[in-house]
């Protein structure tokens, strides 16, 4: 016991000396650490709202437990909007993964195969730039391009066709939402694949060229296997958030006309918790969403580990 105490004390002293020696690094990561702590961990305290009859007067801790404790989960599951909201959320997420996930990989491979470095830099800058456009500006651009008198309909009229009112037809909402997001984020998302491709040993390509392999064969048999772990990990992360659709863009593009296709869990929770002040029901819906995401993440990670031997943990 004495030896263990001495070892533990010495370990703590070494750890403290390491912190003092590298204090600049700890200051550097402090803002990010505080951000995650304040906005990701402190709010967990409010999860208990999902199981309580919340009262502003009594507060979170003093509010009585709901009877039964799963009351608000039951209300959400039995609501007439449940199926519509789940369908909209899942369909938009799957649409985004199927349409948007392969494109950054393809872009990174194409950029990696360019011999003209100057042209490559120009393409990179052009494709990266939309990522830094504000969501509000991006939605405004979508409205300007696809409105009844917008650029797209002007081009349709020029070709002799009839203009299409994209915003009065709910079926167009998923396409406008997903493809505008792909345009904005495709270039930026390709950075991690491009960085991974830069680590491919050139000797492998030289040996493949000597053996007579074509460019497509080298891409398929050298480049893709090298970046496969990166692809698998990012696919797991994307699939693990399949029930999470960003609030800002959906809310900005949402209208009374397209509500049947644009109402997702994030906007529904906002309307319940902030507008209708149903704090307990909003918390229950949010918790339900997070639990489903966690289950999907664990399941996809398990499948990936068995199939490709690459996983998050």
- Cα angle, residue 155 at apex, residues 154 and 158 outer, rounded to 5°: 90
Same domain, 217 and 300: yes
Question: How far, in Å, CA of 18 to CA of 29, rounded?
Answer: 15
Residue ranges for the chain with pLDDT beneath 50: 1-2
- pLDDT, tens digit, for every residue of 71-81? 999 999 998 88
**Residue 76 belongs to some domain of the structure:** no
Question: How far, in Å, CA of 174 to CA of 219, rounded?
Answer: 33
**Residue 261 belongs to some domain of the structure:** yes
Same domain, 13 and 140: no
How many domains, the chain? 2
Q: What is the pLDDT of residue 192?
A: 92
Same domain, 207 and 299: yes
Same domain, 148 and 290: yes
Region for 258 from its dihedrals, namely left if φ exceeds 0, alpha if ψ lies in -120 to 50, beta otherwise: alpha
Residue whose tokens read 């990561």 = 29
Same domain, 130 and 244: yes
- Residue 33's domain comprises 2-43
Same domain, 33 and 146: no
Q: What is the pLDDT of residue 7?
A: 63
**Residue 78 belongs to some domain of the structure:** no
Same domain, 96 and 147: yes
Question: What Å distances lie between residue 285 and 39, 43, 67, 95, 242, CA to CA?
Answer: 19, 15, 17, 23, 15
Q: What is the pLDDT of residue 21?
A: 85
Same domain, 190 and 301: yes
Q: What is the pLDDT of residue 57?
A: 85
Q: What is the pLDDT of residue 2?
A: 47
Same domain, 13 and 96: no
**Residue 191 belongs to some domain of the structure:** yes
Partners of 65 in the β-ladder: 52
Q: What is the pLDDT of residue 4?
A: 61
Q: What is the DSSP letter of 241?
A: T
């Amino acid at each position: 016991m004495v030896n263990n105490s001495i070892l533990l004390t010495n370990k703590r002293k070494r750890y403290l000396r390491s912190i003092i020696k590298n204090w600049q690094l700890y200051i550097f990561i402090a803002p990010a650490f505080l951000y995650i702590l304040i906005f990701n961990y402190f709010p967990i305290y409010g999860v208990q709202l999902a199981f309580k009859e919340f009262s502003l007067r009594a507060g979170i801790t003093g509010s009585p437990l709901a009877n039964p404790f799963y009351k608000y989960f039951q209300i959400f599951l039995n609501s007439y909007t449940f199926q519509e909201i789940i369908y909209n959320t899942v369909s938009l997420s799957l649409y985004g993964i199927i349409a948007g996930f392969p494109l950054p990989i393809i872009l990174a491979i194409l950029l990696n195969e360019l011999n003209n470095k100057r042209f490559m830099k120009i393409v990179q800058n052009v494709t990266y730039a939309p990522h830094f456009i504000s969501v509000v500006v991006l939605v405004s651009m979508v409205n300007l391009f696809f409105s009844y008198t917008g650029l797209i309909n002007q081009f349709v009229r020029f070709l002799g066709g009839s203009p299409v009112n994209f915003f009065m037809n709910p079926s167009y909402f998923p396409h406008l939402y997903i493809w505008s997001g792909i345009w904005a984020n495709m270039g930026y998302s390709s950075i991690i694949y491009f960085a991974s491709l830069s680590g491919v040993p050139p000797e492998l390509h030289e040996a493949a060229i000597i053996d007579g392999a074509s460019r497509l064969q080298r891409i398929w048999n050298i480049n893709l296997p090298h970046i496969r772990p990166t692809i698998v990990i990012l696919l797991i992360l994307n699939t693990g958030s399949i029930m999470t659709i960003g609030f800002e863009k959906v809310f900005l593009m949402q209208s009374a006309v397209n509500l049947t296709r644009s109402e997702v869990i994030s906007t529904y929770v906002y309307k319940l918790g902030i507008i209708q002040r149903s704090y307990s029901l909003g918390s229950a819906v949010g918790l339900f969403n997070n639990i489903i995401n966690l289950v999907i993440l664990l399941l996809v990670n398990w499948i990936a580990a068995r199939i490709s031997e690459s996983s998050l943990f």
